[in-house]
Amino acid sequence: MSLLSAIKGRGPSGFGYGSTAEEVTEGLDLGGKTILITGCNSGIGKESFRVLAARGAHIIAAARTEGKAQATADELGVSAQTTAVACELSEPESVRACVEAVKALGRPIDVLMLNAGIMALPELQVHHGYELQFLTNHIGHFILTQGLRDSLSEDARVVALSSAGHQHTPKGGIAFDNLDGRNGYDAWRFYGQSKLANLLFARELARQFEGSERQAYSVHPGVIKTNLTRHMNPILTSLFGMFESLTLKNVEQGAATQCYVAVHPQVDASGAYFADCNEAKSSSYGRDMELARRLWDESERIVEGL
């Protein structure tokens, strides 16, 4: 347990910084529920997989390869209630193949947990004409969600993993004129841009869900040392390690907010941004619905061209 876990209190939800995924789902029976988790094979995605399966949910486990997803299910001992699928978010054809595989199951999806992502690539990487963090973290999940929209249950929840990093972006929040990064690239600002995109996506999706029981949320899981840091500068990685015991959440705590928002019955604030299992205030860009709609329109244009 980190120092912050010990001194930070709980919020109005009854949970807080130090809460774990097991704690926020304690007593819940998820039998009969189907939950799709991207990035299920490591970090907080794997912990969410473990805990939600333990509560009785059938997990559609998505990883870069079906083999990685199945190996994780086998390791956790939940293969009987798991469907493993491949979903390489940076490859539109892989995402579309995942959509078709999930549709073929004929299962209404109760939770779509958009957990997978990459962070702070030190050098600019362009794939399919777009900067890789934006393509993977936002566009890949946009394709997946839109493809599965008709498969969502009547009261489904879509949970997008954003980050407090959404506050550090290029000017304007989303650099629509530089989505390939060729006019200037900064690893952390482009990561922040992708996380702002996740947040705005959830805001706009929630707006589109109005009039139905479906809900959409974005979450900041906290600062956690997982393999998400594998692309970081070695010096920064070392600093993460030095401060881990003081300030970083462990994986069990990091998975708490997305699990809470995904399945807890007291959550009912569609469109909201959550941190530490409570509603939180996003940046001004994160509350800009005109920006959210512009991003949605641009995302549709991008997807049509991929």
Q: Sheet of 82-86: strands edge to edge?
A: 82-86, 58-63, 34-38, 109-114, 152-161, 215-220, 273-275, 278-280
Cα three-residue angle 152-166-160, rounded to 5 degrees: 15
Element (H, E) at 91: none
Which candidate in 130, 185, 217, 273 is catalytic? Answer: 185
- Alpha-carbon distance of 90 to 164, in angstroms, equals 23
Q: How far apart are CA 138 and CA 166, in angstroms?
A: 12
> Does the active-site annotation cover 185?
yes
C-alpha to C-alpha distance for 9 and 276, rounded to whole angstroms: 10
In whole angstroms, what separates CA 202 from the centre of its chain? Answer: 10
131 — phi, psi (to 5°)? -60, 135
The amino acid sitting at 255 is A
User: Which three-class secondary structure state does DSSP give residue 142?
Assistant: helix
CA 116, 117, 119: angle at the middle one, nearest 5? 155
Instruction: Give dist(CA 285, CA 20) in Å, integer.
Output: 29
DSSP for 161-222, please give it.
E--GGGGS-STTSS-GGGTTSTT---HHHHHHHHHHHHHHHHHHHHHHHTTSS-EEEEEE--
CA angle 144, 49, 71 (to 5 degrees): 90
Residues identified as active-site: 185
